[in-house]
Amino acid sequence: VTDHSSLAAEYVLRLLEGEELMEARRRIASDPDFAADVAWWEARLAPLFDEVGEEPVSPLVWQRIAEGLDGRPGGTVVDLRRKLIRWRAGALAAAAAAAVLLAIQLRPEPASVPVRPDATRPAPLLVASLAGEDAPEALTVAYRPETRELVITPARIAAPAERARQLWLIPEGGQPLSLGLVAAEGVQRRVLAPALAARFAAGATVAVSDEPEGGSPTGQPTGDVLAAGSLSVV
């Protein structure tokens, strides 16, 4: 069997010449076991034909190779081991080169065309849930950047007579910007001006304050903040 197999390997490695080569070819045609051996060797040696595509050998295999080499002093064996190391180094270098080539190939081309909004992906939505610590006010605010549409859904808004509830956007590190008054009931939709819309971002705060009827006269909150929440992307 061993003779069998090494002849197959010799054939795959194209070591054979003349009569031995003829013999191997005859046996591939006539001897299924031998043909299977040839296939076995081809499967294992073929990756070496293109070193670039070589897969790393499992550590177990290297361990067995190393064990086989160790404890066998002799010029030939030592030489073989040195060759083995060079072989491995060569394969690693080739693999590294392949990785570099792949990286170059995969590097995205500079974007010369403006990125088109992906129609298949749902547009992001900014949502804040506002609740008061001391006041019973509760509402949700949803903002769709695509359409600059703000949707206010009051859960519990109670404005005493001659008072109003005003909604504010407070960008991170910025001054409150009025989003208008909030009615006590019903879903309220409004389309924001672009300048205001541009300030909407995740992390910004949305708050409701207590204001005089008709809203804050100063453009900034004048009464208590009744409820607040921060915007997050959904």
Partner 1 sequence: MIRTAFFEGLSYPELAAQAGAPLGSIKSWVRRGLLRLRECLSQ
Structure tokens of 202? Answer: 């995740």
Q: How far is the CB of 98 from partner 1 (least distance, A)?
A: 17
Among positions 52, 61, 105, 180, the unique one binding partner 1 when judged by CB under 8 A:
61
Rounded Cα–Cα distance for residues 126 and 130 (Å): 13
Among positions 30, 59, 60, 107, the unique one binding partner 1 when judged by CB under 8 A:
60
Site string for partner 1, 64-103 (x = CB under 8 A): xx--x-------x---x--x---x----------------
Half-sphere exposure of 162 (CA within 13 A, CB side): 0
Distance in angstroms between the alpha carbons of the first and the last residue of the chain: 67
Site string for partner 1, 5-44 (x = CB under 8 A): xx--xx--xxxxx-----------------------x--x
Q: How far is the CB of 83 from partner 1 (least distance, A)?
A: 6
Angle at 97 between CA 94 and CA 102, to 5 degrees: 125
Q: How far is the CB of 31 from partner 1 (least distance, A)?
A: 18
For residue 200, give the amino acid letter.
Answer: F
| Residue 116 makes contact with partner 1 by CB under 8 A | no
Measure CA 127 to chain center.
24
DSSP-assigned letter for residue 123: P
| Residue 4 makes contact with partner 1 by CB under 8 A | no
